[in-house]
């Protein structure tokens, strides 16, 4: 994918626009929600009404945004520089060396692992609530909730990559 022009010139800009749009709309929604009820409830048992993920979407979103900035700095900007500024020839083996180098720092490994866990929680709630928003809160709701949980495990599997390259390599 790193040298496929369809991915590089069509897919990436669309994906970047979608991610930025999602973050902006998430923050706008959070501001609108806080303005809609400026006076807090006298009694609020939020843990019995909603999950931790749903109550902290803005926090997990902000951490994921910080993670994306770190990830883009670590890998994507380096890739743009390598291919389009320095005009280097394709070299698929260089990614491994960069990956091993980046994950030697325990602070970076910790940040990546935290971000992956929060991304999992964010996706878990986000997938389920988006299905409810479009009207799939019916007989398929349990199956969709289960799929959302499994879908949310995928980012957590990336923790293995960071830990493997930190402790083994």
pLDDT of 57 reads 86
Check residue 42 and give its pLDDT.
67
* pLDDT of 113: 93
Write out pLDDT tens, residues 120-161. Answer: 988 888 888 888 777 777 777 778 878 888 888 888 889 999
Query: How high is the pLDDT of residue 107?
Result: 93
What would be the CATH architecture of the domain defined by 52-167? Answer: Up-down Bundle (1.20)
- The pLDDT of residue 46: 67
Look at residue 45 in the predicted model and tell me its pLDDT: 67
Number of H helices, E strands in the chain: 9, 0
Which residues of the chain fall below pLDDT 50? none
| Distance (Å, whole) CA 10 – CA 12 | 6
Q: Assign residue 135 a region: left if phi > 0, alpha if psi is -120 to 50, beta otherwise?
A: left
Per-residue pLDDT at 22:
92
Roughly what angle, to the nearest 10 degrees, separates helices 106-133 and 57-71? 130
pLDDT reported for residue 30: 86
């Amino acid at each position: 994918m790193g040298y496929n022009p369809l991915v590089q010139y069509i897919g990436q800009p669309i994906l970047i626009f979608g991610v930025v749009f999602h973050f902006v709309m998430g923050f706008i929604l959070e501001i609108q929600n806080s303005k809609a009820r400026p006076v807090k409830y006298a009694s609020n048992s939020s843990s019995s009404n909603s999950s931790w993920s749903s109550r902290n979407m803005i926090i997990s979103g902000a951490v994921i945004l910080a993670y994306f900035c770190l990830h883009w700095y670590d890998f994507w900007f380096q890739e743009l520089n390598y291919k389009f500024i320095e005009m280097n020839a394709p070299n698929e083996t260089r990614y491994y060396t960069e990956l091993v180098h980046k994950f030697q720092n325990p602070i970076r490994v910790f940040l990546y692992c935290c971000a992956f866990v929060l991304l999992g929680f964010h996706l878990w709630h986000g997938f389920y609530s988006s299905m409810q928003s479009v009207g799939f809160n019916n007989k398929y709701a349990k199956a969709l909730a289960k799929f959302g949980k499994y879908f949310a495990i995928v980012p957590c599997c990336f923790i293995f990559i960071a830990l493997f390259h930190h402790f083994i390599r």
